[in-house]
Structure 1
């Protein structure tokens, strides 16, 4: 007679056989999972950096960075107009 643990283990083994017998299915599932992980990380990083930039701008710290990029723009304009 099967115990509860044996039944659960058998169900788990059948689930593994169902989902992981096909190598191409496993690769496709892993690829899609990786894409969504990367997309989520990119969106999360953009939100965090945008929020940090907004906070630093409100605190008045970012004008230093703005001046730096302004100077780079001036150098590029001067170089391209020669």
Structure 2
């Protein structure tokens, strides 16, 4: 994946919101850590959501949430 594509994916992930369930509408970075750990145990969903949840778990486990909040601030959400 090129740097440009990786950057676009990171920005997209920073603005991605949970599409269903108890935490519907929350940014993935705002999901409780136990919820992300539950997905790891039970299996991440298929597709982009699963990839983003898995990446967000790694970000959270490494204490890098501040980077996601900075991306949200520096790269405002683009209109879809």
Q: TM-score, normalised by structure 1?
A: 0.28
Which structure has the bigger radius of gyration?
1
Q: TM-score, normalised by structure 2?
A: 0.28
